[in-house]
A and B are shown apart, each in its own frame.
Chain A
């Protein structure tokens, strides 16, 4: 517990997700039986019980479903205060991530877009969420 916890990029259960982030893509499992995107990855689809999923690219867009601002240090490499946000993506799955803007901007329902943040020299890449650009030309 002396260095920041990072995912094991080689863990086969999650490897395609981390590899995707490294390439700037957001990949989550999609059930070959019922077509649902799901998270976290599971060997069998809890809805239709198909046991095959394919990694499918989804848009890095969504809204903040919930969040917390951590004020008390519990992990190495994390300097409080820092935010952890849970984002409901347009694909329907919810994903955790850091928040790139000031935590004062955080509110449930805030539209956000995915940002890919390199976390170590080995290229491990994590998700962060930034407030979506307010575009006037829809």
Chain B
């Protein structure tokens, strides 16, 4: 039995939803069930995330008949892609038939990021050893990784800007994107105020209210949309995943072993991918992950991005929806949704219009979270290489 992504659903992405996260989450879950061609009450598995809706919330609000599989994935943003692996295991083992993966957040109206409960591991290291030195946000932590990269490799502000501008250009083709209708120029990018050097304003992702849902099923409904297969999925962690400061190599991230495992298991290579959805909390993380997953040579990610390769029409269109930088921050589950839509559209029909990657068969999706955790999946439609 092979797991498929049978349905996806989203709410609007906005700065102020005016609804609770439970309300948002149910809307997205119901949309995904409709898309999958199932009654939402048939969902019998839930993959959730810390500080988000629990499986109990989902079961109660959707009136699930028989929730029999539930797991919480604690990898920050890397959890969305890792969740595909848990869902796949559940349906392929027979533990569940329809597994819901759900992200719901009032990430913009619900308070600033540094004021929210932290999902990071080893809170005593954070509060006792890091906050007293003024080091407490993702931007500040990851800036330390980026600064180290700048020491070891070549990377210019303009190359980082190429990531931001590509995301924004793609978002102009996506009416759902929060930045739809707002172009970004290199001049504007370069003038962005400093957040945590080397990160400036436009290196940083958006904050978003909204919800996003994916259903993984043992098989697709006969009258449902074309199923998208999870050809390979894996997760990985850096050394000392609870501490950034003392791992041997600050640039060795969890995505590297995850991607290597997927390439090995699927027999596919980076060049086989028609597009990639890369977790883009910050511009540098895209470059770093393009290298770690094998899309660009080590130290060559900046040049790769600035070459136009990551734009629609390039050799590897990245984040055709606009990503976290320009569509919205749904913790990367919106990256999975975009991959699914690209693969459905890759079979023909009207697809995603101007942002459709024509004939897409394989799309890679990365996850990044917490202190360098990583996850990686290769999704495919029926034209993709069979396992």
- Interface residues of chain A, those whose CB is within 8 Å of chain B, are 1, 4-8, 11, 13-14, 38-40, 46, 65-72, 74-75, 78, 81-82, 84, 86, 93-98, 108-109, 119, 126-127
The answer to whether A40 and B137 touch across the interface, beta carbons within 8 angstroms, is no
The answer to whether A68 and B143 touch across the interface, beta carbons within 8 angstroms, is yes
CB distance from A44 to the nearest CB of B (A): 13
Q: A67-B144, A68-B144, A72-B194 are in contact. Are A7 and B246 (CB under 8 A)?
A: no
Name which of A75, A82, A95, A109 has the most chain B CB atoms within 10 A of its CB: A75
B385 interface residue per 8 A CB criterion: no
Binds A, one of B22-30, B52-60, B124-132: B124-132
The answer to whether B246 and A6 touch across the interface, beta carbons within 8 angstroms, is no
Name 11 interchain pairs, CB-CB below 8 A, sorted by A.
Answer: A7-B129, A65-B148, A70-B196, A71-B195, A74-B114, A74-B140, A75-B136, A93-B246, A96-B133, A98-B133, A127-B133
B151 to chain A: which residues have CB within 8 Å?
66, 108-109
B147 interface residue per 8 A CB criterion: yes
The answer to whether B129 and A70 touch across the interface, beta carbons within 8 angstroms, is no
What's the Cα separation between A50 and B240 when bound, in Å? 17
What's the Cα separation between A108 and B148 when bound, in Å? 8
CB distance from B29 to the nearest CB of A (A): 33
Residue of A nearest to B129 (CB): A40
| 8 interchain residue pairs of minimum CB distance | A71-B194, A68-B143, A69-B197, A5-B131, A108-B151, A78-B134, A66-B148, A74-B114
CB distance from B219 to the nearest CB of A (A): 43
* Among candidates B128, B143, B250, residue contacting A11 with C-beta atoms closer than 8 Å: B128
Q: A14-B129, A66-B144 are in contact. Are A94 and B245 (CB under 8 A)?
A: yes
A7 to chain B: which residues have CB within 8 Å?
128-129, 132
B68 interface residue per 8 A CB criterion: no
A86 to chain B: which residues have CB within 8 Å?
144, 245
Contact digits for B278-297, partner A, Cβ 8 Å, 1 yes 0 no: 00000000000000000000
Residue of B nearest to A69 (CB): B197
- Contacts between chains A and B (CB distance < 8 A), count: 102
What's the Cα separation between A25 and B115 when bound, in Å? 34
Q: A5-B131, A40-B243, A74-B136 are in contact. Are A68 and B197 (CB under 8 A)?
A: yes
A39 to chain B: which residues have CB within 8 Å?
245-246
Q: A71-B197, A94-B246 are in contact. Are A108 and B147 (CB under 8 A)?
A: yes
* Among candidates B134, B198, B240, residue contacting A82 with C-beta atoms closer than 8 Å: B134
B114 to chain A: which residues have CB within 8 Å?
74-75
The answer to whether A96 and B137 touch across the interface, beta carbons within 8 angstroms, is no
What's the Cα separation between A5 and B129 when bound, in Å? 10
The answer to whether A38 and B135 touch across the interface, beta carbons within 8 angstroms, is no
What's the Cα separation between A33 and B114 when bound, in Å? 39
A94 to chain B: which residues have CB within 8 Å?
245-246
What's the Cα separation between A73 and B164 when bound, in Å? 23
* Among candidates B112, B122, B133, residue contacting A84 with C-beta atoms closer than 8 Å: B133
The answer to whether B134 and A71 touch across the interface, beta carbons within 8 angstroms, is no
Residue of A nearest to B142 (CB): A68
The answer to whether A126 and B132 touch across the interface, beta carbons within 8 angstroms, is yes
The answer to whether B245 and A96 touch across the interface, beta carbons within 8 angstroms, is yes
What's the Cα separation between A86 and B131 when bound, in Å? 14
Q: A5-B127, A119-B132 are in contact. Are A68 and B193 (CB under 8 A)?
A: no
Q: Which of B97-122 contact A (CB under 8 A)?
A: 112, 114-115, 122
A71 to chain B: which residues have CB within 8 Å?
193-197
Q: A68-B143, A84-B134, A108-B148 known; 9 other A-B pairs, CB under 8 Å? A: A40-B125, A65-B250, A66-B147, A69-B194, A70-B196, A70-B197, A72-B139, A84-B133, A95-B245
B125 to chain A: which residues have CB within 8 Å?
40
B220 interface residue per 8 A CB criterion: no
B145 interface residue per 8 A CB criterion: yes
The answer to whether B195 and A84 touch across the interface, beta carbons within 8 angstroms, is no
